[in-house]
Amino acid sequence: MSGRLVVCPTPIGNLEDITLRVLAALREADVIACEDTRHTRVLLDRYGVSAPLVSYHEHNEDRRSAELVGRMRGGEVVALVSDAGMPLVSDPGYVLVRASVAAGLPVEVLPGPSAAIAALVASALPADSWRFAGFLPRKRGDLRRLFEAPGPTLVAFESPRRVPASLEVLAEVDPVRPVAVARELTKAHEEVVRGSASELAARYAEEPPRGEVVLVIGPSADAAGGDERAAAEALARLVEAGARPRPAAAVVAELTGLSANAVYRAYTERSRAQQTEDEG
């Protein structure tokens, strides 16, 4: 078997969430590169995987990547994992993937658990268009700029002890912005708390949440509504000129950065409102 890199997502909490394909890849690998060998060994022991481990983390990425690329050129299969979820998504791995591609080595990415995706779906906030911000900035000024910027639903990781401060800044920017605090996803104490920015800022002001946290922040009502209204108007003009609504919605979406579904939905709502007005 030719040398290659296999990127393997691992459970974000519940060890039963590992996929059969990931287990097969880990068993077939010549070496597994992981953030913390002790952490990964717990998972491997659970499923009887005995492949050798090497550490691969933010402090040794360059040196270890060169070593692993050399091993893959020699025909070995390297499996890359992080402590939880998909490697590279706010975790180490970018340097190795980039080096593997530059060396002409195959890179296979397996699907699997993701805290960002799980939190987004559980939040009950718009998921047709969203942005992942990684870990939120620490400085209040940077936070304000992030929260003030118009855009789709925002998903971000946050330290539990910093959740109160981040929500306080968000509440200052837009107190009615919808938010979900998802913590300990897939674990025994999983919890998703939904509410406005001001409500959740007050809730966590005295007692920060415990465990690993993902924040999901809905789009600003004014920003999202304004963007969608403008897109709906543009789509209406195209339809009046003879374009079919669905294909034209895809074109408007590409130009505006909104999703095609959001553009088409705004257009249909505009059409219904206009029809009601005409009938009145």
pLDDT in tens, 147-176: 999 889 999 999 999 999 999 999 999 999
The model's pTM is 0.76
CA distance 200 to 192: 12
pLDDT digits (tens, 9 = 90+) for 205-261: 989 999 999 999 998 765 555 567 788 889 999 999 999 999 999 998 877 767 788
The topology (CATH level 3) of 4-109 is Cobalt-precorrin-4 Transmethylase; domain 1 (3.40.1010)
Place of tokens 């699997």: 112
Q: Which residues contact 75 (CB under 8 A, 6 or more apart)?
A: 1, 2, 3
* pLDDT class of 14 with cuts at 50, 70, 90: very high
Q: How large is the average pLDDT for residues 187-202?
A: 96
Question: What was the pLDDT predicted at 226?
Answer: 57
Amino acid 279: pLDDT = 67
* Strands of the 130-135 sheet, one edge to the other: 130-135, 153-158, 213-217, 178-183, 191-196
For domain 115-219, the question of CATH label 3.30.950.10 is answered with yes
**Cβ partners under 8 Å of residue 64, min gap 6:** 33, 54, 55, 56, 96
Residue 240 amino acid letter: E
Sign of CA dihedral 137, 144, 167, 140: positive
Q: Rounded to an integer, what distance in angstroms lies between the CA atom of residue 81 and that of residue 10? A: 7
- Name the average pLDDT for the chain: 92
| Pick from 35-49, 132-146, 182-196, 222-236: least confident | 222-236
Say what the pLDDT of residue 274 is. 78
Specify the pairing of strand 191-196 against strand 153-158: unpaired
